Structure 1
Amino acid sequence: MAETVPTYTAAAIRAAEAPLLAAGEPLMRRAAAALAGVVRDTLPLPEAGARARILVLAGRGDNGGDALYAAADLTERADVDVLLTAGEGHGDALAAALAAGARQVDLAHMRDSEYDLVIDGIVGIGATGAALRGGAHDAVTTLLPAVLSGRTRVVAVDLPSGVQPDDGSTADGVVLPASVTVTFGGVKAGLTATRAAGRVVFVELGLPLDPATAVGEADVEIYRA
């Protein structure tokens, strides 16, 4: 059931995260556990004896770390490939994913593969809505036909990569439209202004957000483990 919650700018959410991160709160691990839970609920049921196939797109930022730690939690349920869209990523998170059985792949391998689900952890609220570039752009444009045809679903981490977090705009429209967006800590205002977000699931992390700084409202699902 949807619940109405306040929405915030990216700056307000980052400011609320700062004291918790400084205190050593494991926000990334908590976000990743919730992300993995939503992905399990979203995965299509495979044929008898088959395993689902997941591709994790991980950028350098925190969303990439969330996606990689979630990948480690999902290997018992699915065959998981990991593509580092910037050529590098979170060392500890990548190591956890690989130790759990995920495979690191390159763009050429990804082009030759079909996936049931993609986890989009390329960029997050630290981005300004600038166009995706380099490996990120190539990965998204390669996957778009399968996503638009409905063969592959997308779960976006915090918000779809390339979507501006405050107003929902995109620089060039190269975005993977998500079936589900799992957003953390506070609901980003831009999620209410884009169709690319799909169904929004909100994971509360206990951020000290001031309701007086909210910029709107959104109807979202609340994640409860």
Structure 2
Amino acid sequence: MEAFTAAQIRAAEELLLAAGVPLMQRAAAALAREIRLLLPTDRPGRVLLLVGPGNNGGDALFAGAELAAGGTAVTVVSTSDRMHESGRVAAEAAGVRMLSPASPTDAAASVARNCDVVVDGILGTGTSSSPALRGRAREIVAALLPVLADDDAPVVVAVDLPSGVHPDDGSVPDPTVLCADVTVTFGACKTGLLIGPAADYAGRIVVVDIGLGPELDRVARGG
């Protein structure tokens, strides 16, 4: 599998974003599609979104809005004081349930016990300089780890990469990381997902084409 660094992928994204290409919408639609494949077919699915402040959180929110519009029960736990604003608006308009930030740690564990899928949209490649989870995000993940260790635990889907792993060198500075069953990564595989110990947290890797190909090839060649 061909892989690229976070800097290379961001450079390609910036070129397309400057041209008005709707990369987040493409990523969110693909993420929703992959989550939908993991939901039960005999009843409405239940999804918990762990949403950080950046674009990965935005991807998760827009995907959650699409799922909710189709009848899936979607709940959001914010791992930060901020959320992607237009993603939040879209999610709320679609009927996504936003948990109160008063006790997000206990609430996340409680909701996760009754979910089919937990979506890790906490951090993205922009945190490569210091990927370890901190503060509220780390507390929430720590509370979820025992729930996800159960035999009947929900499936964990990572948005682009598991939060807390380094996208380039595969390091995991703090083991408080959700081990994904599926990582839906956008544009191209990140090098760190193929290197231990991060590879052990990535699960099955699904690379989603969002149109980066030509620009990414140009960036990788230094053109």
TM-score, normalized by length of structure 1? 0.87
The code of the aligned residue for 2:63 comes to A
Cα separation, partners in 2 of 1:152 and 1:201, compared to 1, 3 Å: same
Q: Does 1:41 align with 2:37?
A: yes
1:112 CA displacement: 2.7
Q: 2:97 aligns with which of 103, 106, 110?
A: 103
Residues 65-76 of structure 1: pairs in structure 2 closer than 5 A: 65-75=58-68, 76=70
Aligned to 2:171: 169
**Aligned residue for 1:220?**
none
Match of 2:9 in 1: 13
In structure 2, what is the Cα distance between the partners aligned to 1:110 and 1:99? 22
In the other structure, the counterpart of 2:158 is: 156
Q: Deviations over 1:165-206 (max 9, x none)?
A: 012211111110111000001110011121110000011122
Q: Kindly indicate whether the alpha-carbon contact (under 8 Å) linking 1:140 and 1:174 is maintained by their aligned counterparts in 2.
A: yes
Letter in 2 for 1:146: V
Q: What residue number does 1:185 align with?
A: 187
Which residue pairs with 1:94 in the alignment? 88
| Residue in structure 1 matched with residue 24 of structure 2 by the alignment | 28
Q: Who is 2:116 aligned against? A: 116
Corresponding residue to 1:199 among 201, 204, 223: 204
Q: Does 1:63 align with 2:56?
A: yes
Shift of 1:29: 0.5
> How many residues align structurally?
207
Equivalence for 1:127: 127
Which stretches in structure 2 are left out of the alignment for 5+ residues?
A: none
In structure 1, the residue matched to 2:217 is 210
Q: What is the identity, as a one-letter code, of the residue corresponding to 1:159?
A: L
CA distance in 1, matches of 2:165, 2:187: 18
| Aligned CA-pair RMSD | 1.7
Quote the Cα distance in structure 2 between the aligned partners of 1:148 and 1:125.
Answer: 26
Q: 1:111 to 1:6 in 2, by over 3 A?
A: closer
Q: % of aligned pairs identical?
A: 49
Q: Where does structure 1 differ by over 6 angstroms across 4 or more consecutive aligned residues?
A: none
* Structure 1 segments unaligned to the other structure (5+ residues): 215-225
TM-score, normalisation: structure 2: 0.87
1:6–1:211 contact (8 Å) kept in structure 2:
no
Amino acid at match of 1:132: L
Once the two structures are TM-superposed, the CA of residue 212 in structure 1 deviates from its matched residue by 8.6
Instruction: Provide Cα deviations, 1:5-51, integer angstroms capped at 9, x if missing partner.
Output: 411111111111111111111100000000000000122x26x5x43
